[in-house]
Amino acid sequence: MRTLSPKYIGIILGVLYGISIRVFLEFSDAFNFGSLVTISFMFLVPIAIGYIRIYFECKLNKSMSYKHMAVKAWQPIFVFLLVSIVTLLEGSICVAMALPAFMLFASIGGVLAGFVHRKLEKESKKVVMSVALIPLILSPLEVNFFKAIANI
């Protein structure tokens, strides 16, 4: 049996993470848990997707340059957005408007993953879990904070 390369695992897990967060926020909007138009979803989710992609790539290629990390972090973003369009989770205009920000923040996540992997290799598993959970933790705080401000 053939095993998947870490780079493909990173792409697949990044896409699955993005889609699952997208669907979760869609259904949890009624419970004031989160929203798609939040800082958490627009900026932190792409950081996490890029981080996940490069986290697995660093296991395979420890000498990858930061430039390559920034560009390779886009791969799961493109697949995530393509799946979002094909499954009608998002319209093409929304994807076109979000793409530049998603690419920028995925690059930040990818470079961050490479930096953490080089400096804290033994702690990198804990960091990837933390990065993946940050949008889920901050999204309800952000939504409820803005609702509280709107009521003042």
Which residues in the chain show pLDDT less than 50? none
- pLDDT at site 152: 67
pLDDT digits (tens, 9 = 90+) for 95-105: 999 999 999 99
**Count, residues in the chain:** 152
**15 Cβ neighbours under 8 A, 6+ residues apart:** 49, 76, 79, 80, 83
What's the CA gap between 49 and 142, in Å, rounded? Answer: 20
- pLDDT at site 52: 95
- pLDDT at site 59: 81
- pLDDT at site 102: 96
- pLDDT at site 69: 93
**99 Cβ neighbours under 8 A, 6+ residues apart:** 77, 81
Torsion over CA: 75, 70, 131, 44 (sign): negative
- pLDDT at site 34: 59
- pLDDT at site 122: 76
What's the CA gap between 3 and 139, in Å, rounded? Answer: 35
- pLDDT at site 139: 80
